[in-house]
Amino acid sequence: MAALAAAGWRSAVLRRLRVPPRAPWMAATWSSPIRFFSSPDDHIDKQEVVDRVLSVVRSYPGVDSSKVTPECHFQQDLGLDSLDTVEIVLALEEEFKLEIPDKEADKIDSCGVAIEYISSHPMAG
């Protein structure tokens, strides 16, 4: 009985609901809602990623900033341990406002890998 009453109520509401026809100029805008919210131009360029990654690594405590290059390895070149690497990845997540899955974060062991991952990530900002 309650289901029948709900169905009657739903029908009454839908009969009164009016949706305006779509204007021709809106057709391109709404045909792809994903593109409406983001565009390829919103993505940051690779040089900006390089600069920001190097800045994050240089600002990490105990890192000799003169050794930080786009090719440097966190453990071999900078002498960081695995906990330091995790903290750098967390700092990169915060810097670029993105979440790096654990499987991907485990692979980030150098500035070069971090730069490649972030520059190819569509949500990096």
* Domain assignments of the chain as residue spans, ordered by start: 2-37, 43-120
Closest CA to 63 of 46, 94, 87, 47: 87
Lowest-pLDDT choice from 10-14, 85-89, 105-109: 10-14
Residue 27 pLDDT greater than 60, yes or no: no
Active site residue 81: yes
Q: What percent of the chain has pLDDT over 90?
A: 59
Closest CA to 118 of 69, 52, 42, 57: 52
Residue 33 pLDDT greater than 60, yes or no: no
Per CATH, which fold does 43-120 belong to?
1.10.1200
Task: Give the whole-angstrom CA distance, residue 64 versus residue 61.
Answer: 9
> What is the pLDDT, as a whole number, of residue 44?
82
Confidence grade of residue 23 (pLDDT, cut at 50, 70, 90): low
> What is the pLDDT, as a whole number, of residue 83?
95
Confidence grade of residue 32 (pLDDT, cut at 50, 70, 90): very low
Angle, in degrees to the nearest 10, between helices 111-120 and 46-58 = 140
Residue 3 pLDDT greater than 80, yes or no: no
Beta bridge partners of 73: 110
Tokens 């490649």 belong to residue: 116
The catalytic residue among 42, 81, 106, 109 is: 81
